[in-house]
Amino acid sequence: MIWIAIRMLTGDAQKFYGLVFGIAFSTLLITQQLTIFVNLLERGASAVFNVPSADIWVMDRVSRTTDVAYPMPSTALDKVRSVPGVEWAAPHLRATASVRTGDGDLEGVAIVGVDDATLIGLPRRMAEGSIDVLSRPDTVIIDDVGTTNMFEDGRSPIGERLELNDQRAVIRGIADAVPSFTSQVTLYTKYSQALRYVPGTRNRLSFVLVGAAPGVDHQQLVARIEAETGLRARTRDQFAQDGIDFIVENTGIPLNFGITVALGFVVGVAIVGLTFSLFIRDNIKQFGALKAIGVANGTIRRMVAAQAALVGLIGYGLGVLGTIAFIWSFSAVPTFKGFYIPWQIPLISLAAVVLILALTGWIALRRVLKTEPAAVFR
Amino acid sequence: MSDTSTQPAIRTRGVTRDFMAGSQAITVLHGIDVEIRAGELTYLVGESGSGKTTLISIMCGILYPTLGEVEVFGTDIYRLSDAELVAFRLRNIGFIFQQYNLIPSIDAASNAAVPLIAQGVARAEARARAVEMLAALNIADQADKLPSQLSGGQQQRVAIARALVHRPRLVVCDEPTAALDARSGRRVMDLLREVAVAPDRACIIVTHDNRIFDLADRILRLEDGYITHDGAHMPEDH
């Protein structure tokens, strides 16, 4: 009977494709929007992800994220280095500045000052050039997304001279970095050089990056650093989460994406519900005849479930494939750099599809089950 | 189930059926006592609203009576559980609906095979038996066609094949000639007599088509929920 149910559905091409389209569209909308949402949120932690070598970030007690940081006195670095269990500690400066390009354009940029000696604080990979260029005077390394933003005509930024807060800077490398939430241009330079670019206040040390000694529990080290220095310390994962939470709490993004995802669900329910009920209405005499002939309600339930499962399987597959195609085709666009589909998102979409089909299938099934077999004689 | 040679195919005792119209109960059948015999072509006739559809629905186990008992080949069908009643219908009753109610997206043979498939017979075997039945009805060459590719007469034959393919002991046919001219109607009735009437099978035709009354073995006339005539012919005053 399942075969008959499938043929009943696929034989009505218009409704079959309508149902598949409804599920595919819903899946695409939910999966794609959740994917963009999650990836955008993770951009809130991009500065942390760009320094994978740091186990712990130490900051002033009022600092919240990599972008909301209160500078500390330079003595904080020595305090942290003296805490047992700290393998190494490196200064890290993050600040904003204005840059004037050779073309005369003005751009707001983020300055990141990394440890002069070890260069800890730079992204792991370079897209062009070597990190050794930082030993040359006035050198900055630009992030790859910043390159496309600042040099929209596509020319190479290597060798370009900039006026950075009224100081001379020369781009000598391109870092392969995770873009920030705002895709702001980021310029990496040595800590000592960064101090020159950032107008002076007495305290300019934003963070102390810490590597834990082998075998030392990171959470215990965090507690020890806080106890002995009076500063705030966060493990890498905690600080990444802080950046994500900051966006969730301080922007309308979750609400906006939430509305779109909810719309995807509602549209799915509407299209699938309407088409399913039309399909059942058109076939109610056939279902009534089957019931009169002696097809049990349990079998009818399985038939409708099989129809829903087929539509769901094809529609969901197309929706997920559509999302993959979207992410893949936009992967070269800087805005979508590094975007991926977390495995949880297809599962959430699947749950939504199951819910849509269960809801609409149940409503359609009720009509079939309520149909009296005797109705076929009327 | 009892020996079919000595018992009627259907026996109803005091079958009454009420329908609610708002808060008022309307009695459509008034204590019907009747026996239907196997091997006969029995007509159930009457004007619209006389109760013939209600009676046939009760006789074939798809509508519960308000009062009374219905035995089909010795089984008191309304004492069965819902699941048992559904299974009883599937094994013992064949239906030919006025509008055929064929499934439009499967071919003629598959439509005819539906009762067998519902019984759990493998699809290939069910289809082969359905093609045999279509051959008996002279439309084996149409087995692979969809209902929409068949004429009205061919569709009706597919519906007849579906009603007989599982060799039911009771065949119920609803207004088989309603949409046909006189000659076509008589051809269909000849066909039904040929394939549906058998010594061990009862066949009931619900109709109000007086052009075919002379083809019946027995005619039961219903008027306002009562059986007012039971005989081989319709009375002269009809």
The strands making up B10-21's β-sheet, listed across from edge to edge, are B24-36, B10-21, B67-72, B75-76
Relative to beta strand B218-223, strand A56-59 is unpaired
Task: Categorize the per-residue pLDDT at B3 as very low, low, confident or very high, splitting at 50, 70 and 90.
Answer: very low
How far apart, in whole angstroms, are the C-alpha atoms of residue A300 and residue A72?
71
How far apart, in whole angstroms, are the C-alpha atoms of residue A378 and residue A374?
7
Give B48's DSSP letter: T
Which residue is listed with tokens 């712990």? A56
Say if B78 falls within a structural domain.
no
How far apart, in whole angstroms, are the C-alpha atoms of residue B125 and residue B116?
9
Residue pair A207/A59 in contact (Cβ under 8 Å)? The answer is yes
Q: Under 8 Å CB-to-CB from B52, ≥6 apart: which residues?
A: B44, B45, B46, B206, B208, B222
- Would the CB atoms of B86 and A294 count as touching at under 8 Å? yes
The token pair at A133 is 């260029």
Whether A150 shows a pLDDT value over 90: the answer reads no
pLDDT confidence of residue A102: 67
Considering CB atoms only, which of B95, B103, B174 is closest to A286?
B103
pLDDT confidence of residue B6: 53
Kindly report the nearest CA distance between residue A294 and chain B, in angstroms: 4
Chain B residue with minimum CA distance to A8:
B105
Say if B55 falls within a structural domain.
yes
- pLDDT per residue as tens digits for the range A67-121: 888 999 989 999 999 999 999 999 999 988 888 876 777 788 899 999 999 999 9
pLDDT confidence of residue B1: 44
pLDDT confidence of residue A374: 73
Q: Under 8 Å CB-to-CB from A53, ≥6 apart: which residues?
A: A120, A124, A209, A211
How far apart, in whole angstroms, are the C-alpha atoms of residue A269 and residue A23?
9
Whether A134 shows a pLDDT value over 70: the answer reads yes
For the full predicted model, state whether its pTM sits above 0.80: no
Whether B115 shows a pLDDT value over 80: the answer reads yes
Chain B residue with minimum CA distance to A299:
B118
Considering CB atoms only, which of B87, B105, B118 is closest to A12?
B105
Considering CB atoms only, which of A10, A293, A297 is closest to B90?
A293
Considering CB atoms only, which of A285, A299, A374 is closest to B101?
A285
Say if B77 falls within a structural domain.
no
Say if B119 falls within a structural domain.
yes
Whether B83 shows a pLDDT value over 60: the answer reads yes
Using a CB-CB cut-off of 8 Å, the residues of chain B touching A287 are none
Scan residues 188-247 of A and list those with Cβ closer than 8 Å to B: none
Per DSSP, the residues of A160-206 read: -EEEETTEEEEEEEEEE-PPPTT--EEEEEEHHHHHHHSPP-S--B-
The strands making up B93-96's β-sheet, listed across from edge to edge, are B93-96, B170-174, B202-207, B41-45, B218-223, B226-231
Using a CB-CB cut-off of 8 Å, the residues of chain A touching B117 are 1, 3-4
Scan residues 5-34 of A and list those with Cβ closer than 8 Å to B: 7-8, 10-12
Give A213's DSSP letter: P
pLDDT confidence of residue B238: 55
How far apart, in whole angstroms, are the C-alpha atoms of residue B108 and residue B154?
9
Say if B88 falls within a structural domain.
yes
Q: Within an 8 Å CB–CB cutoff, is residue A374 touching chain B?
A: yes
Whether A317 shows a pLDDT value over 90: the answer reads yes
Structural domain span for residue B201? 38-61+83-231
How far apart, in whole angstroms, are the C-alpha atoms of residue B4 and residue B9?
7
Residue pair A314/A19 in contact (Cβ under 8 Å)? The answer is no
How far apart, in whole angstroms, are the C-alpha atoms of residue B42 and residue B59?
13
- pLDDT per residue as tens digits for the range A112-128: 999 999 999 999 889 88
pLDDT confidence of residue B168: 87
Q: Under 8 Å CB-to-CB from A8, ≥6 apart: which residues?
A: A283, A286, A303, A307, B103, B105, B106
pLDDT confidence of residue A106: 79
Instruction: Mutate one of A4, A284, A291 to test the B interface: name it (highest B CB count within 10 A).
Output: A4
Say if B202 falls within a structural domain.
yes
Which residue is listed with tokens 């993959």? A324
Interface predicted TM-score (ipTM): 0.83
| B77-91 as b/e: b if 16+ CB within 10 A | bbeeeeeebbbbbbe
Using a CB-CB cut-off of 8 Å, the residues of chain A touching B162 are 293
Whether B236 shows a pLDDT value over 70: the answer reads no
Around Cβ A166, how many Cβ atoms within 10 Å? 10
Three-class DSSP category at A58: strand
CATH label of the domain that carries residue B177: 3.40.50.300
Domain positions in chain A are 2-44+252-377, 73-230
Please give the tally of structural domains in chain B: 1
Residue pair A195/A202 in contact (Cβ under 8 Å)? The answer is no
Segment A355-363 shows an average pLDDT of 85
- pLDDT per residue as tens digits for the range B153-173: 888 888 888 988 888 888 898
How far apart, in whole angstroms, are the C-alpha atoms of residue B237 and residue B175?
22
Return the percent helix, strand and coil in chain A, to nearest 5: 55, 20, 25
pLDDT confidence of residue A190: 93
| Residue of B110 and A148 predicted with greater confidence | B110
